[in-house]
Amino acid sequence: MKIETECIHAGIDADPATGAVMTPIYQTSTYKQEGVGRHKGYDYSRTANPTRSALETCLASLEKGAFGLAFASGMAAIDTVLRLLSPGDHVLAGNDVYGGTYRLFEKVLRNFGLDFSYVDTTELDQVAQGLKPNTRIVWLETPSNPWLTITDISAVCGLAHNQASHPLVVIDNTFATPYLQRPLELGADLVVHSTTKYLGGHSDVVGGALVGKDLALRERLSFLQNAVGAVPGPMDCFLVLRGIKTLAVRMERHSQNALTLARFLEKQQNVAHVMYPFLGLSAQVAAARRQMTCGGGMVSFVLKDGQVTAHRLVERTRLFTLAESLGGVESLIEVPAAMTHQSVADSPLAIDPGLVRLSVGLENVDDLMEDLEQALA
């Protein structure tokens, strides 16, 4: 199936009990057993739930993986991956990972004896130099949050998989979604999602997911999923499944609107610099065009007058709502240094306080442009 069809049909069968076309919300914690240990594949909903199974199958199919696992949040999914490691293991991460990822690595997991270092993963020689004999995971975000940098996934996988320690290459694919980019096909071992964002698509659910291709890895991760228990409820799984049905059309329009606004912002006097994966002619844009089908819905820009102007701008938009998060049908605006990425303040990953991030929604692009124009003025 092509991805547009998979978004609607993958993992979805009419309910065998009633014929319901939409996946039922199996709001149950437990399941009747016919005899001791004899059941229909479900015994307790932390371990497995039919609504969650439908979502997990759908995600595996979209990312071209062999398995999917759903979690209560993106952070819960990320935390579960890191529990594969033991004290003394090293993680090499991009130096512009999501602030919450950095916080988990530095303020929580470092206390458990894991070692983390950060490099500019868009520079392959920095990745090569950053790999250590005890590196077990290479952690990438591409496009990254909020700088929208692009890392060449195949090239990094080539470097990592040549290492004797054979680290797992894990890609946070939240910004691109499998509609725009499928890292497992480019050599990655595992994909992470905050399904809160584009997969859910309507700012009405918090969730996370992992998708991989190696069934031995599935065993270890699904053991952790059950042992740790950071699982989503069936209602949340239903909402993500429903969001995914329109992923293809949404990502097309998000990308069209975002590119138009990025080009508009480039021409504004008070804007110093615009970041968008498909804007310009740099090596990163070339990599984006190789591994993504469109640029996605996120645009970041730096204002010439810095923090004060950035704060004034985001408080003056009328259609763009000042709020954290991204990936919903409505347009959002924020200042990462003071909002989503506060946890990296005073660290080497600190964000320029004059950087503004847009999550470009599905409104008419002329209305969005007018809104930015009046706020910039």
Positions marked active-site: 46, 98, 172, 197
**Closest separation between CB of residue 122 and ligand PLP, Å?**
16
> Which of 319, 313, 316 shows the shortest CA–CA distance to 353?
313
C-alpha closest to that of 359 among 342, 340, 338, 373: 340
Find the shortest distance in angstroms from Cβ 347 to ligand PLP. Answer: 17
Residue 96 found at the interface with ligand PLP (CB under 6 A): no
CA distance 315 to 328: 20
Site membership for ligand PLP, residue 334 (CB under 6 A) = no
Radius of gyration of the chain (CA): 21
**Smallest distance from ligand PLP to CB 6, Å:** 23
Asked if residue 333 binds ligand PLP (CB under 6 A), the reply is: no
The least CB distance from residue 207 to ligand PLP, in Å, is 6
Cα 196 versus chain centre, distance:
9
Instruction: Give the nearer residue to ligand PLP in terms of CB position, either 151 or 194.
Output: 194
CA–CA dist 141, 96 (Å, integer): 8
Phi and psi dihedrals of 363, rounded to 5?
-65, 170
**Segment contacting ligand PLP by CB under 6 A, of 68-76, 130-138, 286-294, 366-374:** 68-76
Q: Is residue 145 within the footprint of ligand PLP (CB under 6 A)?
A: yes
The contacts found for 53-56 with CB under 8 angstroms, 24 or more apart, are 53/11, 54/11, 54/12, 54/23, 54/237, 54/241, 55/11, 55/209, 55/237, 55/240, 55/241, 56/11, 56/209
For position 141 contacting ligand PLP by CB under 6 A, the verdict is yes
Minimum CB separation from ligand PLP for residue 38, in Å?
37
x/- map, 256-295, ligand PLP, by CB under 6 A: ----------------------------------------
Q: Which residue's CB atom is positioned nearest to ligand PLP?
A: 74
Question: Which of 23, 45, 51, 73 lies at the binding interface for ligand PLP (CB under 6 A)?
Answer: 73
**Residue 210: enclosing H or E segment and its boundaries?**
strand 208-212
The yes or no reply on residue 105 touching ligand PLP (CB under 6 A) is no
196 binds ligand PLP (CB under 6 A): yes
Number of residues that bind ligand PLP (CB under 6 A): 13
- Cβ within 8 Å of residue 11, ≥6 positions away: 53, 54, 55, 56, 57, 58, 59, 60, 61, 241
Q: Find, among 187, 181, 190, 158, the residue nearest to 81 by Cα.
A: 190
Q: Provide the minimum distance between the beta carbon of 233 and ligand PLP in the complex, in angstroms, as a whole number.
A: 14
Contacts of ligand PLP in 199-228 (CB under 6 A): 206, 208
- At 75, give phi and psi (nearest 5°): -65, -35
Which range of residues in 28-36, 58-66, 72-80, 311-319 is near ligand PLP by CB under 6 A? 72-80
Q: Residue 100, interface with ligand PLP (CB under 6 A)?
A: yes
Residue given tokens 């102007």 in the structure block: 309
Residues that bind ligand PLP (CB under 6 A): 73-75, 98, 100, 141, 145, 172, 174, 194, 196, 206, 208
